[in-house]
């Protein structure tokens, strides 16, 4: 079985800092290689992998801006012109590669990492009958699409060591954007009388300047910037809890899984996939609003950090994800061969 994996080219695979889709692609690719699968990764030229690497875009668009349409078209066509060399194509590059799917005979699996808008649904609908769609949570499904299965995102468990929460602070870890609730996290921490450490990419500069920056003082609200893997592990492991007060139907939530992999409980607004990731009262708390989150901070002593780690290992490890996808590859390959 020869698998081609198509990664986005906005960031390196794996990303140096931010890049959730590229991170998942990297974890899956390395997990497949460990399971003896012949994998070719189509990604940026500076990507790091134990699989075979194919690239036409030497550097990520998010770090070295170029004409995105040109780079993306060359990237997709580079794989599609070699499609016959592969048993299966696993697309992680959203809807654009689907427009090639009826021009090649190699079967497609497309993991849908959320919908950027409802306007892209017609493209997915057009290829409903000849493509295989995988959702990353049951909550992030369109009723208009046919799905092969749901496979939860996995993370590299070796990069996340269990911590004891000895830092005595709450943590906000994610994009600085209204949807992710950075301002709400500040309110929760201040009213719970706990320091808040924040880390993540500033994605909405206006929101940051108006709602977040005025409260950063280096004492009870500390912003660490867009941290890398080593700092991420320490911040997660030493935190009392991760605050995740989202205001949208989040398709998954990598930081939630990363926190639990470090043994750190999560206090999350109950939206999107949160109820699929967290068992309320066992791995953290699912709450309706800021008041519920503040109350949850005072119940963290009842959460077993070892149970959080065990839950993450059982459901969101790299090997769990790899094995789920290998089973789907085999299923689709049998279907393509009429068996």
Say yes or no: 269 and 328 in one domain. Answer: no
Say yes or no: 265 and 324 in one domain. Answer: no
Q: Look at residue 339 in the predicted model and tell me its pLDDT.
A: 54
Q: 99 with 126: CB under 8 angstroms?
A: no
Count structural domains, the chain: 2
Say yes or no: 182 and 138 in one domain. Answer: no
Side-chain-facing half-sphere of 316: CA atoms under 13 Å: 26
Say yes or no: 9 and 134 in one domain. Answer: yes
**pTM of the full predicted structure?**
0.93
The whole-angstrom separation of Cα 183 and Cα 253 is: 18
Say yes or no: 212 and 132 in one domain. Answer: no
Q: Look at residue 65 in the predicted model and tell me its pLDDT.
A: 84
* Residue 335 clears pLDDT 90, i.e. is over it: no
User: Whole domain around residue 13: which residue ranges?
Assistant: 2-154+317-336
Which residues neighbour 301 within 8 Å (Cβ) at sequence distance 6 or greater?
Answer: none
| pLDDT band with cut points at 50, 70 and 90 for residue 338 | low
Say yes or no: 146 and 8 in one domain. Answer: yes
Q: Look at residue 228 in the predicted model and tell me its pLDDT.
A: 79
Say yes or no: 162 and 307 in one domain. Answer: yes
Distance of CA 214 to the CA centre of its chain: 29
* Residue 336 clears pLDDT 80, i.e. is over it: no
Mean pLDDT for 6-25 is: 94
The whole-angstrom separation of Cα 13 and Cα 126 is: 29
Say yes or no: 273 and 124 in one domain. Answer: no
* Residue 116 clears pLDDT 90, i.e. is over it: no
Say yes or no: 301 and 166 in one domain. Answer: yes
User: Over the chain, what is the mean pLDDT?
Assistant: 95
Q: Look at residue 135 in the predicted model and tell me its pLDDT.
A: 98
What are the pLDDT digits (tens) for 188-226?
999 999 999 999 999 999 999 999 999 999 999 999 998
Say yes or no: 118 and 222 in one domain. Answer: no
Say yes or no: 304 and 176 in one domain. Answer: yes
Say yes or no: 30 and 133 in one domain. Answer: yes
Sheet holding 221-223, edge to edge: 221-223, 196-199, 170-173, 241-244, 266-269, 284-287
Q: 92 with 24: CB under 8 angstroms?
A: yes
Domain of 196: which CATH number? 3.40.50.2000
The whole-angstrom separation of Cα 67 and Cα 212 is: 32
What are the pLDDT digits (tens) for 258-299?
999 999 999 999 999 999 999 999 999 999 999 999 999 999
């Amino acid at each position: 079985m020869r698998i081609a994996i198509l990664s986005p080219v906005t960031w390196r695979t794996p990303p140096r800092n931010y890049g959730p889709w590229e991170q998942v692609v990297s974890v899956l690719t390395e997990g497949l290689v460990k399971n003896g699968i012949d994998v070719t990764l189509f990604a940026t030229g500076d990507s790091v992998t134990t699989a075979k690497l194919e690239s036409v875009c030497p550097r990520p668009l998010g770090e070295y801006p170029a004409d995105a349409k040109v780079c993306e078209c060359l990237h997709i066509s580079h794989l599609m012109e070699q499609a016959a060399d592969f048993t299966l194509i696993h697309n992680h590059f959203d809807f654009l590669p689907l427009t090639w799917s009826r021009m090649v005979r190699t079967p497609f699996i497309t993991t849908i990492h959320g919908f950027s808008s409802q306007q892209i649904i017609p493209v997915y609908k057009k290829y409903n009958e000849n493509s295989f769609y995988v959702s990353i949570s049951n909550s992030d499904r369109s009723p208009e699409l046919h799905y092969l299965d749901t496979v939860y995102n996995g993370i590299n468990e070796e990069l996340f060591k269990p911590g004891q929460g000895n830092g005595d602070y709450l943590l906000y870890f994610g994009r600085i954007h209204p949807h992710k609730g950075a301002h709400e996290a500040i309110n929760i921490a201040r009213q719970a009388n706990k320091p808040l450490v924040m880390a993540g990419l500033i994605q909405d500069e206006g929101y940051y300047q108006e709602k977040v920056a005025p409260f950063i003082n280096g004492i009870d609200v500390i912003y660490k910037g867009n941290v890398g893997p080593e700092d991420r592990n320490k911040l997660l492991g030493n935190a009392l809890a991760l605050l995740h007060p989202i205001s949208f139907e989040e398709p998954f939530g990598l930081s939630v899984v990363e926190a639990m992999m470090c043994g750190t409980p999560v206090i999350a607004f109950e939206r999107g996939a949160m109820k699929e990731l967290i068992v309320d009262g066992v791995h953290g708390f699912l709450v309706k609003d800021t008041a519920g989150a503040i109350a949850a901070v005072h119940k963290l002593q009842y959460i077993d950090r070892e149970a959080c780690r065990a839950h993450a290992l059982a459901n969101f490890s790299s090997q769990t994800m790899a094995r789920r996808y290998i089973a789907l590859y085999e299923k689709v390959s049998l279907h393509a061969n009429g068996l």
